[in-house]
Amino acid sequence: MSDFCSNNTEVISDSNYAANYQTPTRRSCLPNSGTGFSTNHISTNGIINVEALQTHINGLISANETTPPNIQEADIVTNPAKVFAEKSALLRTNITSEYCFYYKRYTYILQQILTTAATSTNLSSNGDYNTKKSKTVEINSKLNQILQILQGLINARITTLKNYYGENTGVNKLNDDLNATRSNLLEHSRLMKKSSMEHDAKSAMVDYSVEKNSSSRNLMAIYGFMNIVAAGLIFYLYRNAKSQ
């Protein structure tokens, strides 16, 4: 068995070859509860209608929470890239599991009808052969649809990458923002340095004016004392003049 199917040990028989992958606990990547696209969305050569496929891919991505991280909302989730990596890996595992599920049934049933076709006569009246033949067509269609869904998923990721590295989006926009912020930071640093120097000069002027005030205060004290002495001298002389 192929590498992608090496973990599947299920034994396929006539009782389970027609089973559907989707169960209450297991979700299919195919639309319509795992039965696949409706026939009006599939062309005669098995190609799914582009719009229907795109709609389903969008729904699948949304349902499996594998929407690529939106950088503008990166702060909402702590680590959006890690979450995306885990969810997308889970989606790939689920798709692989489903493909393997139908792949094993397809190989079983194809072997059956080829052997029957090679050995039996009057095949048109062989009911079991006809049932298995129509089921083979159905399973083959599911396998092809899964492959197309996978291709659509790859295309969606490529579109995301293009947006990430677009001219005015994603990385380039962030880098532009970063450069602009860096320029602002440099300008603010330059202004702050200048303001800081001015502040130092003004602080020195304040210290100088405080010293001038102190000097003036000392002079006032001296003159106050001298005035008291002069007034006392006048009083003394006046008393002397009076006594004479």
Partner 1 sequence: MKEPFANLDTLIDQTKVLSDMELQSYLVSLGSSKTQFMNNNVSDTMSAVTTNKSAKFQDLIDQATGADNNVVSSAYYLTRTKDLNNITKDFDAITARQQTSVEINGKIAERQNEINEWENSNKLETLYIMQILFISLSLVGIFTFLLSKELISSSLFGFLSYSVAAISVIMVIIRWRYTNVARDGRYWHKARFPRQKGATTVAPVCPTNGEPSFIG
Of 156-215, binders to partner 1 (CB under 8 A) are: 157-158, 160-161, 164-165, 170-171, 174-175, 177-178, 181-182, 184-185, 188-189, 191-192, 195-196, 198-199, 202-203, 205-206, 209-210, 212-213
Position among 110, 125, 142, 166 found at the interface with partner 1 (CB under 8 A): 110
Task: Characterise 34 by phi-psi region: left (phi > 0), alpha (psi -120 to 50), beta (else).
Answer: left
Full DSSP string of 83-110: HHHHHHHHHHHHHHHHHHHHHHHHHHHH
Instruction: Say if residues 28 and 98 touch (Cβ distance below 8 Å).
Output: yes
Query: Whole-number minimum distance, CB 23 to partner 1, in Å?
Result: 22
Query: Whole-number minimum distance, CB 120 to partner 1, in Å?
Result: 8
SS3 percent helix, strand, coil of the chain, rounded to 5, is 75, 0, 25
Nearer to partner 1, 19 or 204 (CB): 204
Choices 15-23, 26-34, 56-64, 111-119; region in contact with partner 1 by CB under 8 A: 111-119
Full DSSP string of 32-81: HHHT-S-GGGB-TTSPBPHHHHHHHHHHHHHHTT-PPPPGGGTTTSS-HH
Nearer to partner 1, 32 or 111 (CB): 111
Instruction: Say if residues 113 and 133 touch (Cβ distance below 8 Å).
Output: yes
Instruction: Return the residues of window 6-65 that contact partner 1 according to CB under 8 A.
Output: none
Query: Whole-number minimum distance, CB 140 to partner 1, in Å?
Result: 8
Choices 9-17, 43-51, 57-65, 140-148; region in contact with partner 1 by CB under 8 A: 140-148
